[in-house]
DNA sequence: ATGTTC
């Protein structure tokens, strides 16, 4: 993106003043280098979102923003139901409640190294991966309804994990207001055999070593020490969330027309929060969020079984689980007033600052863990949320490196098998059913995650705590 | 992201 087309308001804040149908400004948080690397279409999408009814404050983009369906990936926008605000399926994304969880293992990298190959092999066979992957769990209609309303709490009650896990999950592992009746039979059918599966694309389970620490106090609070091993799990609501997104995009196009909402882009289909379609979507989206939370909880259980077999001393404790594709009703300050707002975060992570009452007490002094997944073979990061008044973007931060090129382009540039060999030379074992998928996820098909994280920190969105280096990656 | 095209 050409920086000259934006108004620079600080070293890390770029604005688009309202013109035409924009109701609020656009704001992009990034360094100049990240702006230059950003797709031109991000600006158009930030502008389009700023035109939607009931949007408050500004249409925001995080440092890793790239072009997406309707909303940019890395987009944050909040809506006020009292001001005719809307909810948009494209503002959440197809992979509803896609997110990351991080587990400590209590192991040192040196203990893991001799068994690394076996660990990769065993994890690959225990955790189903790939397009259309099915697992050993099959839900009937009644169990499906319990899962969609119970989330990770349901999974723990079924024996997949412990009650202690729940304190370290966004919303204590269960999103309230879920409506199984707002989820179609087709969506439920698609999910029947997909619980505890990773899926494909950029989803993965990665075993990592804690590298550099940047904030020792926060690292201590999060239980992270150098050379210790952690597990990162990145996945979402599988076929169920995708089906819900597809169906509600259609009904929202109708709803927007009926309510006289002028859409700058048909991909921005939305429904008033105070409408039957808007309420049904919120209920279905929350059900999909519970599906994603239960899914990550079950995968955690599989990972614990594998580590217990190979490393009797291991104890996989949940550090945190947070979504980066969702719409949440949250209370935020707006012009000095506390307001309940519907915050869309699409490819953006919630990042509550120190003192937030929703955080577990262990983390309250330092802020929410913000889990940033890198691309395959590169680093991941743990950050801590800020409460910085310079960035009024509803306590949000970036979610990953962000793609630098399309899947098609990546597929042209790299060969899966060769990438796997190169990574192995670096001591990183990748197991995947798809050579094409590996090529599409090539490390250089993404932006430099370190630069994105530095940009997020410099802008004041979150503080760097620890860098994580990959050892074993199970890839969809 | 996705039973990678209803």
Q: Can you give the pLDDT at residue A361?
A: 97
In the residue annotation, A381 being an active-site residue is answered as no
Q: Pick out residues whose CB falls under 7 Å from strand B.
A: A 94-95, 98, 130-132, 186, 190, 194, 199-203, 235-236, 238-239, 242-243, 246, 434, 476
Q: Tell me the nt nearest to A325, Cα to C1'.
A: B1
Closest residue to B4 measured CA to C1′: A131
Q: Looking at residue A410, what is its pLDDT? A: 94
Contact A449, A2 (CB under 8 A): no
Q: Given this model, what pLDDT does residue A44 score?
A: 97
Q: A106 with A314: CB under 8 angstroms?
A: yes
| CA–CA dist A308, A247 (Å, integer) | 41
The spacing between the Cα labelled CA in A245 and the C1' in B6, in angstroms, equals 15
Q: Where are the extended beta strands (E) located within A199-314?
A: 204-213, 228-235, 270-272
Rounded to whole angstroms, the distance from the CA of residue A470 to the C1' of nucleotide B5 is: 36
Tell me the CA–C1' distance in angstroms for A246 and B5: 14
The angle, 0 to 180 degrees and rounded to 10, between the axes of the packed helices A238-258 and A276-310 is 170
* Cβ contacts of A157 within 8 Å, gap of 6 or more: A150
Q: Which of A138, A259, A399, A444 is catalytic?
A: A399
* Distance, CA of A96 to CA of A112 (rounded, Å): 34
Q: At what angle do helices A141-157 and A276-310 cross, to 10 degrees?
A: 50
Decide if A110 contacts A327 (C-beta within 8 A). Answer: no
A234 nearest nt, CA–C1' = B1
How does DSSP classify residue A393?
S
Question: In sequence order, what DSSP letters do the residues of A22-59 get, joined into one string?
Answer: -SS-EEEE--HHHHHHS-HHHHHHHHHHTTSTTEEEEE
CATH architecture of the domain A3-404+446-475 equals Alpha-Beta Complex (3.90)
Q: Provide, in whole angstroms, the distance separating residue A108's CA from nucleotide B3's C1'.
A: 40
Spans in chain A with pLDDT lower than 50: none
Per the CB < 8 A criterion, the answer to whether A74 and A293 are in contact is no
For residue A275, what is the DSSP state?
S
Residue A19's contacts (CB-CB under 8 Å, 6 or more residues apart) are none
- Nearest nucleotide over every DNA/RNA strand to the A191 CA, judged by C1': B3
Minimum CA–C1' distance nucleotide for A440: B4
């Amino acid at each position: 993106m050409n920086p000259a087309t934006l108004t620079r308001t600080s070293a890390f804040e770029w604005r688009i003043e309202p013109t035409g149908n924009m109701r609020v400004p656009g704001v992009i948080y990034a360094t100049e280098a990240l702006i230059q690397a950003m797709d031109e279409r991000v600006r158009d999408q930030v502008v389009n979102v700023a035109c939607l009814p009931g949007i408050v404050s500004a249409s925001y983009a995080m440092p890793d923003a790239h072009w997406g369906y309707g909303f940019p990936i890395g987009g944050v926008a909040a809506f006020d139901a009292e001001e005719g605000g809307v909810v948009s399926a494209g503002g959440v994304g197809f992979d509803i409640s896609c997110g990351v969880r991080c587990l400590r293992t209590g192991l040192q990298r040196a203990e893991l190294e001799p068994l690394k190959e076996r660990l990769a092999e065993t994890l690959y066979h225990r955790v189903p991966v790939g397009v259309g992957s099915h697992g050993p769990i099959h839900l009937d209609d009644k169990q499906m309804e319990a899962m969609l309303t119970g989330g990770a709490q349901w999974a723990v009650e079924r024996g997949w994990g412990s009650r202690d896990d729940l304190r370290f999950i966004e919303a204590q592992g269960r999103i309230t207001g879920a409506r199984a009746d707002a989820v179609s039979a087709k969506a439920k059918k698609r999910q029947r055999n997909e619980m505890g599966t990773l899926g494909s694309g950029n989803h993965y389970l990665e075993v990592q070593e804690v590298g550099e620490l940047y904030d020792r106090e926060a690292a201590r609070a999060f239980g992270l020490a150098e050379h210790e091993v952690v597990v990162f799990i990145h996945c979402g609501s599988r076929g169920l969330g995708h089906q819900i997104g597809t169906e509600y995009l259609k009904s929202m196009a109708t709803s927007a027309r009926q309510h006289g909402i002028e859409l700058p882009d048909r991909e921005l289909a939305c429904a008033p929060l105070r409408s039957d379609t808007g309420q049904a979507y919120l209920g279905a989206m929350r059900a999909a969020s519970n599906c994603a939370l239960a899914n990550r909880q079950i995968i955690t259980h599989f990972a614990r079984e594998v580590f217990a077999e190979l490393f009797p001393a291991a104890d996989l404790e949940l550090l945190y689980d947070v979504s980066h594709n969702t719409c949440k009703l949250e209370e935020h300050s707006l012009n000095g007033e506390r307001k309940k707002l519907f915050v869309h975060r699409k490819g953006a992570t919630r990042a509550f600052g120190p003192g937030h009452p929703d955080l577990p007490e262990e983390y309250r002094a330092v802020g929410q863990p913000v889990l940033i997944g890198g691309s395959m073979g590169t680093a991941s990061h743990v950050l801590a949320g800020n409460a910085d008044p310079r960035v009024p973007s509803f306590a949000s931060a970036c979610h990953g490196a962000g793609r630098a090129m399309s899947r098609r382009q990546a597929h042209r540039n790299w060969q899966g098998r060769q990438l796997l060999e190169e990574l192995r030379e670096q001591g990183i074992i990748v197991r995947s059913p798809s050579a094409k998928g590996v090529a599409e996820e090539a490390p250089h098909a993404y932006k430099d995650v370190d630069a994105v994280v530095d940009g997020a920190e410099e802008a004041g969105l979150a503080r760097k705590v620890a860098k994580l280096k990959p050892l074993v990656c199970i890839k969809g």
